[in-house]
Structure 1
């Protein structure tokens, strides 16, 4: 784990690839993108809960990408950035956890049908994969938030 002994508040440039919690950026980006793709590739029915899943995954995907580039470019050197980092990742945890629970509930309802045509079975399997990926994304954001909080307390 790289330290911030040079006086920097947060790591910048390539140091984000070697420091905890910043190593979670790439997995969050990939897993979050998979949730977005898997949900988008199925029928969005019912619209309301799955619309929230799409919003949460797209919001976190875009903001994490922006956050990654801010850290990469070194624009995160103000003293407010550690608390913003913790705050954003806890918001992302809440978003993804609520989206994962909604998605799991809808998937369970779809799976409770006694007879399922083959085309619906494919969609059901995609929904199961999306549920797994959304819980994995929740875990990654949670770990990032916890390690960011620990870094914030020491800065």
Structure 2
């Protein structure tokens, strides 16, 4: 008989367990949608530079930090100290807040550029959609991480 590998709510997974447990299953979609925002914004003219610079910072920062978070969890580095459940909640809550602000900025700039070239406008709309999807994923991950932290 095969043993089940279900994680209790309070335990943090490591290894391939991060691919099968909620909220950790959201790592890869967060990286995909965040990477798409990064790519789509970078593929167009970054005008005006200030709000779109913030969008680029958020997408690159969250992509790199999520990648580091995956590596730490995959290698089991979080098993050496306590507080990782709280740090997981704090990071994903901050990332959700950052992505929400970036998505609102991006939507506003896209709205202002609607009279421009149609190809660029469509790319900007796709970036807005992916930014809001990334925001949603980070928010769901933060909520589920807070539940896990509460039970830790």
TM-score interval, normalised by the smaller of the two chains: over 0.9
- Structure 2 alignment gaps of length 5 or more: none
Correspondence 1:119-138 to 2 at 5 A: 120-138=117-135
For 1:2, the equivalent position in structure 2 comes to 6
Contact 1:9 1:79 in 2 (8 A): no
Q: 1:97 aligns with which of 97, 100, 122?
A: 100
For 1:14, the equivalent position in structure 2 comes to 16
Correspondence 1:47-66 to 2 at 5 A: 47-66=49-68
Runs of 4+ in 1 over 4 A off after TM superposition: none
Correspondence 1:15-94 to 2 at 5 A: 15-77=17-79, 78-94=81-97
- Quote the offset at 1:79 in angstroms: 1.6
Q: Take 1:17 and 1:52, find their aligned partners in 2: how far apart are those partners?
A: 30
- Quote the offset at 1:19 in angstroms: 0.6
Contact 1:10 1:82 in 2 (8 A): yes
- Quote the offset at 1:130 in angstroms: 0.0
Under a length normalisation based on structure 2, what TM-score does the superposition of the two structures give?
A: 0.93
Q: Take 2:8 and 2:144, find their aligned partners in 1: how far apart are those partners?
A: 14
